[in-house]
A and B are shown apart, each in its own frame.
Chain A
Amino acid sequence: MVLPLAMPALTATSAMGVGVEATRAALHGRRGGLSPCDLPGMPPGIWVGRVPGLEEVALPAELARFDCRNNRLAELALRQDGFAEAAEAAAARFGAHRVAVVLGTSTAGIAETEAAYARRDANGALPDDFDFAHTHDLHALPRYVRARLGLRGPAVSISTACTSGARSFLEAGALIAAGVCDAAVVGGVDTLCRMTLHGFNALELLSKAACRPCAADRDGISIGEAAGFALLMRPEDAPSGSPLLLGTGASADGHHMSSPHPEGLGAVAAMRAALDAAGGGAVDYINLHGTGTRANDAMEGVAVRTLFGDSVPCSSTKGWTGHTLGASGALEAVIAAICVADGLVPGCLGVEAPDPAFGVDVATGNRALPVRRVLSNSFGFGGSNCALVIGRA
């Protein structure tokens, strides 16, 4: 692999804010985006991280067949922070066929299918206007973004549950290193849908209030929706001072479909691989996967303690956004870049007493300190693990 790679354009949209500046202000102001769930047909008594105004977002007319909540969120995010313009500039510079689109999602536009099931006819058939390929299909996301940005490089759809967004950085890095492309639009988009909320409800993993990752008395996840995008290219092709992707690492647990390895062996392996790829330097802050479930956070505490003891401040930002699943790794990569730019360790939101069993330095209030490198963790069902190191040269 050829690392580092530069990220001359970044953007994120989640319940805590539309675009980088709103996200930054919410982090500094400690204003979370979670609220009681008011979407119809969802499990009762839960909180979610909903992006306001998605219902009003319109896709360009020529791409209307891609219309679904997931692609509307992608569209809203692409309009922020000059991201679409930066991708178009990369296409002009390298050639549109030399810019890949590599994006993660866990459920794409499956909310359209859920709605179509409610409109089945007397024979059980779905309505004729239901467009599987451009909404439900995982490939609908990179196809939409590729068409929207006028790119002609490879379109890659990644779906490794909650590591999807992080994993896109690693896969795009391989495409650039192997000479398939010169730049890539990477990231992840996932949106609220009944399958996900009822699924986590069936697993009894949903919090009854705003999630509080790392709290001693944490009681589960709040699900959120988000889009995070980054433009990746070689550092010599990007403006100096661009945030850098310094390291990527991945592993599998090979242990169980839904329970993490209790000692976090897979998590340790992914973090170690990312740190090695980054050249082995110190990190100043760890943005945890930190979902707020008993099992994930305990496992991650053990894994972080194994590698770092209590020497590195860590926190989860899911108290602001909820767990945005296949988007979380991309959203949190953007948050990591904000932390580096601002010298910020955002302490866990709503946590009075971190779990003492972790034995790590959990920040519960914001800290201002030099942050040169951030380690960002993502873990998912199927034993999928991915870690990124983001920072400065």
Chain B
Amino acid sequence: MRCRIAGVGLLGPGLPGWAASRPILAGQAAWEAGPVALPPPAALPATERRRTSASVRLALAAAAEAAAASGLPPAELETVFASSNGDGAVVGAILEALSAEDGAISPTQFHNSVHNAAAGYWGIAAGSMRPSVSLGGHDDSFPSGLLQAAAATVARGAPVLFCAYDAPLPPPLQAHRPTEAPFAAALVLVPETHGAGTPLTVDLVETAAEGAAGPLASLVAGNPAARALPLLQALAAGRAGRIGLPLADGGAVVLELGAP
């Protein structure tokens, strides 16, 4: 499947946005781990903004950066959100509440617990009625989400905003599904005929080795969304190349990044 990357967004430890992180990703500056600042989404009305959790803020920050970089109106982008854990803080709080004597849970937390909460807030923030899908994927959330986003771009001939994000789960879930620091990566994919943007092909193959992330390998190991890093590093360096993303149960997604 052939398409183009027209915008990129990023947020992770020591990686405060795509534009700000390009020298690190390109290997021109050293990476240092640091806390991830999660800004309240400015485009949301105040009442909605207050209700957003860390994972929603994480997703919307990367999505907004990619959309802005693409130069396309955010309201006109279809969206694909992919997350292994969803909103673990909200789900964890509900599980705690269900364990209490009366089992009563918060109505606001319940509707924020849906896996498409980030997508819902994005639609409100962008004023968008375009189709939006939210995917899981466990350790494969990035490759399977990107495969689906590329398929949507090709099949429907429309620009698609793809955002992979994951935040750590609270205890005691964290011990059974370890996720390190928050990480989000977003790409605006446009049809190949769009003209502008870095060429990208996304294909499913029998087998491929995982792309290397060099000094950022610890991030890849700690968060499924950070499997975007080898692609982002090649993009930042302006380097064409082939990047493998093997899938947990066999098969692999292979990316061919063209010259910018």
Chain A residues within CB distance 8 Å of chain B: 1-2, 41, 97, 106, 108, 110, 113-114, 117-118, 120, 124-126, 130-133, 137-140, 143, 146-147, 152-161, 167, 170-171, 173-175, 177-180, 194-195, 198-200, 202-204, 250-258, 265-266, 269, 273, 380-384
20 A-B pairs in the complex with CB atoms less than 8 angstroms apart: A41-B103, A110-B91, A113-B173, A124-B172, A125-B175, A132-B173, A138-B115, A138-B138, A139-B84, A143-B248, A152-B251, A154-B144, A157-B136, A159-B135, A173-B155, A174-B155, A254-B124, A254-B128, A381-B114, A381-B120
In the complex, per-residue mask of B116-133: 1 if CB is within 8 Å of any chain A CB, else 0: 110111011011111111
Q: How far is the CA of A120 from the CA of B95 in the complex (A)?
A: 12
In the complex, chain B residues whose CB is within 8 Å of the CB of A202: 104-107, 110
In the complex, chain B residues whose CB is within 8 Å of the CB of A110: 91
Asked if A147 meets B155 with Cβ closer than 8 Å, knowing A139-B136, A171-B133, A381-B111, the reply is no
Instruction: Report which of B120, B133, B148, B175 forms a contact with A383, defined as CB distance below 8 A.
Output: B120
CB atoms of A252 and B131 under 8 A apart:
yes
Chain A residue nearest to B130 (CB atoms) is A252
Chain B residues within CB distance 8 Å of chain A: 1, 48, 51, 75, 84, 86, 91, 94-96, 98-99, 103-107, 110-117, 119-121, 123-124, 126-138, 140, 144, 147-148, 150-152, 154-156, 171-173, 175-177, 204, 206, 247-251
Q: How far is the CA of A194 from the CA of B175 in the complex (A)?
A: 22
State the total of A-B contacts with C-beta under 8 angstroms.
222
CB atoms of A199 and B94 under 8 A apart:
yes
Instruction: Report which of A106, A114, A160, A203 forms a contact with B107, defined as CB distance below 8 A.
Output: A203
Chain B residue nearest to A143 (CB atoms) is B249
Looking at B51, B75, B95, B140, the one whose CB has the most chain A CB atoms below 10 A away is B95
Q: How far is the CA of A194 from the CA of B148 in the complex (A)?
A: 31
Instruction: Report which of A138, A157, A250, A258 forms a contact with B111, defined as CB distance below 8 A.
Output: A258
In the complex, chain A residues whose CB is within 8 Å of the CB of B135: 156-159
Looking at A1, A170, A195, A257, the one whose CB has the most chain B CB atoms below 10 A away is A257
Instruction: Report which of B98, B119, B150, B155 forms a contact with A252, defined as CB distance below 8 A.
Output: B119
Chain B residue nearest to A102 (CB atoms) is B148
CB atoms of B151 and A198 under 8 A apart:
no
B232 to nearest A CB, angstroms?
A: 23
A148 to nearest B CB, angstroms?
A: 12
In the complex, chain A residues whose CB is within 8 Å of the CB of B175: 125-126
In the complex, chain A residues whose CB is within 8 Å of the CB of B111: 199, 203, 257-258, 381-382
Q: How far is the CA of A113 from the CA of B98 in the complex (A)?
A: 11
Q: How far is the CA of A130 from the CA of B248 in the complex (A)?
A: 20
B255 to nearest A CB, angstroms?
A: 14
Q: How far is the CA of A133 from the CA of B103 in the complex (A)?
A: 25
CB atoms of B116 and A160 under 8 A apart:
yes
- The 7 A-B residue pairs whose C-beta atoms are closest, nearest first, are A382-B120, A138-B136, A199-B110, A159-B115, A250-B131, A157-B136, A177-B155
Chain B residue nearest to A270 (CB atoms) is B131
B211 to nearest A CB, angstroms?
A: 19
Instruction: Report which of B115, B123, B148, B177 forms a contact with A106, defined as CB distance below 8 A.
Output: B115
CB atoms of A152 and B129 under 8 A apart:
no
In the complex, chain A residues whose CB is within 8 Å of the CB of B95: 113-114, 117, 195
Q: How far is the CA of A178 from the CA of B140 in the complex (A)?
A: 20
In the complex, chain B residues whose CB is within 8 Å of the CB of A132: 173, 176-177
Q: How far is the CA of A106 from the CA of B91 in the complex (A)?
A: 12
Chain B residue nearest to A252 (CB atoms) is B123
Q: How far is the CA of A131 from the CA of B132 in the complex (A)?
A: 30
CB atoms of A383 and B107 under 8 A apart:
no
Chain B residue nearest to A384 (CB atoms) is B116
Q: How far is the CA of A98 from the CA of B99 in the complex (A)?
A: 44
CB atoms of B106 and A253 under 8 A apart:
no
**Besides the known contacts A126-B176, A273-B131, 7 further A-B residue pairs in the complex with CB atoms under 8 A apart:** A114-B98, A174-B151, A177-B155, A255-B124, A257-B120, A257-B124, A380-B114
In the complex, chain A residues whose CB is within 8 Å of the CB of B249: 143, 146-147, 155
In the complex, chain A residues whose CB is within 8 Å of the CB of B173: 113, 126, 132
A193 to nearest B CB, angstroms?
A: 9
CB atoms of B116 and A130 under 8 A apart:
no
Asked if A254 meets B129 with Cβ closer than 8 Å, knowing A114-B98, A126-B173, A178-B150, the reply is yes
In the complex, chain B residues whose CB is within 8 Å of the CB of A113: 95, 173
Chain B residue nearest to A132 (CB atoms) is B176
In the complex, chain B residues whose CB is within 8 Å of the CB of A273: 131
Chain A residue nearest to B1 (CB atoms) is A178
